[in-house]
Structure 1
Amino acid sequence: MIRIEARAPMRRGSATGPGLRRARALALPTLWGGAAVAYKLACPLAQQNGFGARIVTSAVFFAVGTGLIVHVRRALVRELRQVRKVAGAAQSALLRPPPARLDGLRVAAAQLSADRSAAIGGDLYEAIATEHGVRVVMGDVRGHGLAALATAAAVLGSFREAVHDEPDLGRVLRRLERALARHLRERARAEHLSAGQGPENPVAEEFVTVLLLEIRRDGELRALSCGHPWPYLLGGHGVEPLADAEPLPPLGPFPLPRDVDPLCGQLLAGESLVLYTDGAEDARDAQGRFFSLPGALAEAARDHPVSAQSILRTVLTSLHRHISGTPADDIALLVLCDDRDEARLSLSQGAGPGGADRQPPRHSRPTA
């Protein structure tokens, strides 16, 4: 492969070249070192062995060492700020902030990273309005930090294309599976590893849990889960999981089954869905107690009016109060509130599968 790098031409007299920048960075340490050597060799006081002369000499070298340490520290701080700036830009490009309103849905999202050195985690989410309805993905890559960034980018990139191309949610999921398999093969090739080496191969241990949702304009809801927890539903029945069905295996270790049938249901006007990664429910306090996400959502449901931002704000406040620090695992939250017009609300309250008189379960898989 031929790589061509385009570089902006340097202006004459410009001091922005890499060689000049390196020379400028070394100028101050060289000056401090030269001053110390000159004092030792040329200053008569440095040649004396008296107590006062030794104190002065020690003070001079202490000042030189302190200056060098301060200079190196400032250089490292500048470099760290630049790295964090690049990491923040990568995070913004990967996890784009969702619009506040998306085709009749109010949307709010947040992500907390377990990596103290970067704002990038292994969680991923996206919500996109398509001709097939609003399609949403929530996923969790094995691991966290920069190591999971490439895998999350591969899955998200495939999702952003497939949701517009594929009319069926199951075919979107298969596109994600192929994209992940291709990414892992390329990664194994780059690391000079064989994909069939077994558990010693870190690529063979990679997996991604994925939750896919499709919400149509009439409120029809379709969902697929590959090893990911079902979202919570906030509505007239309180706080309850969207479904209790067993999810499919995570993407990566095992191929998808031949038949992938989405779970079907109805999202009524005024109801909310809260998607999350398992880091939220696995968060512990100092005594080792798990965070109660349903309890925080029940508290958020008591607010009036209930909005996506208020739900997210209440959950994050409770979560920070519970862990009082950095979470042990990455956490992602995505809230979808259906605030479509009252006409659809009154229509959905009639008899039928989406009516108020329907009996549980709320959501089920289609039958042949």
Structure 2
Amino acid sequence: MLRFKARVPRKVLAFGLPTAWGAMAITYKLTCPLAQQDGLGARIVTSAVFFAVGTGLILHVRRALVRELREMREVAGAAQSVLLRPLPPRIDGLNVAAAQLSADRGARVGGDLYEVIATEHGVRVVMGDVRGHGIAAIGTVAAVLGSFREAVHDEPDLRRVLHRLDRALARHLRERAPDEHPAAEDFVTVLLLEIGRDGEITALNCGHPWPYLLSGAGVEPLARTDPLPPLGLFPLPTELPPVPCGSLLPGDCLVLYTDGVEDARDARGRFFSLQAALADAVRHHLITPHTILRSLFTGVLRHTRGRQADDMALLVLRNDRTRLACNSLGARGTARPATTNTQPSNHL
């Protein structure tokens, strides 16, 4: 109510000031004797009056547009805090850091989504990419993330979580255009991960890039199987076999990302090499989630000179659990002792 009352005088000023200036200019033209003369001096004075009125109107409109843009950015920031809420720096023994960068300079929210939630079924992770970016993608991001945050606690089977996301997206698309069939371009790529207490990783992938695993063996994709089609393009197949992806041993990192990172190009059209950047970070011992995140974003922005064409999101998970929680052997050989690590921040 107070905000409404505060906006009333603002609207009065927005319409009242231009009206008053215009009335003054017309009154001067009709009633001032000087304005009726044809001499050079009279013309100069009349032109100066109308120039001052026009300049005032332009400045007033510019100030109003800047104020509206500032308010829109504040709304976008509030939406971001609800949709992509800051992740805790530590979730069930995993150190976490995440951030996204919108390609739309007028919005702080892009079409990328991510979430990490500890459940009784394990730590469950989603990384997705909505077609499009900016404020237009907020509704789809909200539908998918809202469904994920409920389903991960309710469904013991990761396949059922994916079905819930698929149904939520279909409902959203129908409600957005109830009299139309969803366009073929309306889709979302989704990667679901489940990390057990022993570090075992299970995945379901619908059209999303596989994350990179940083381990003692180097930098390699978490899996190499072909993903399913993105959600929204085709119905999910009857059989949805989860993909076993080995184990996340103590000290290992997972780097999840959206395709805007690897699709980033420089002035010569060359793509950004994410795997090479990760290998370089490992060589320089940048092995905490926060330092990896900062290093990658710095590298992409330097590569594109700050002119990225698509939204980008990065999510880094590091296993800092104890040896007892991960048994004594991992899927790739002898387990390494967990290292003590400072907790990273989620903000760049």
**Do these two structures clear the TM 0.5 threshold for a shared fold by scoring above it?**
yes
Within the candidate set 19, 25, 32, 1:36 is matched to: 25
8 Å contact from structure 1 (residues 137, 210) kept in 2:
yes
The reply on whether 1:272 has 2:239 as its aligned counterpart is no
Alignment of 1:134-149 (within 5 A): 134-149=123-138
Deviation, 1:158, is 0.5
Cα contact 1:112–1:327 (8 A) shared by 2: no
Paired AA for residue 82 in structure 2? A
Report the alpha carbon displacement of residue 17 of structure 1 after superposing the two structures with TM: 6.3
TM-score, normalization: structure 1?
0.86
Q: What's the offset of the Cα at 1:30?
A: 2.2
Equivalent positions of 1:115-194 (< 5 A) are: 115-189=104-178, 192-193=179-180
- Report what 1:208 is aligned to: 188
- Measure, in 2, the Cα distance between the counterparts of 1:184 and 1:263: 28
SS, match of residue 194 in structure 2: strand
Aligned to 1:252: 232
Residue 116 of structure 1 contacts residue 326 of structure 1 at CA under 8 Å; is this kept in 2? no
Counterparts of 2:2 and 2:283 in 1: how far apart (Å)?
Answer: 61
Residue 24 of structure 2 corresponds to residue 25 of structure 1: no
CA distances 1:73-124 after superposition (whole Å, capped 9, x unpaired): 1011111111111111112211111111111111111111121221221111
Q: CA deviation at 1:344?
A: 4.7
- Percent of aligned pairs with the same amino acid: 68
Question: What is the Cα deviation at residue 300 of structure 1?
Answer: 1.6
Residue 217 in structure 1 maps to residue 207 in structure 2: no
Query: Of 321, 324, 334, which residue of structure 2 is paired with 1:356?
Result: 334
Structure 1 match to 2:292: 311
Count of aligned positions: 334
Match for 2:321 among 316, 336, 340? Answer: 340
Normalising by structure 2, we get a TM-score of 0.91
Q: Which segments of 5 or more consecutive residues in structure 2 lack a partner in the other structure?
A: 336-348
1:16 match: secondary structure = helix
1:15–1:347: structure 2 CA closer, same or farther, 3 Å change rule? Answer: closer
Paired residue type of 1:68:
L
Query: Structure 2 vs 1, CA of residues 9 and 356 (structure 1 numbering), >3 Å: closer, same or farther?
Result: closer
Give the gaps of 5 or more residues in structure 1: 1-7, 196-200, 358-368
**Residue aligning to 1:16:** 6
Q: How far does residue 138 in structure 1 lie from its aligned partner after superposition?
A: 0.3
Q: Say if 2:130 and 2:140, in contact at 8 Å, map to a contact too.
A: yes
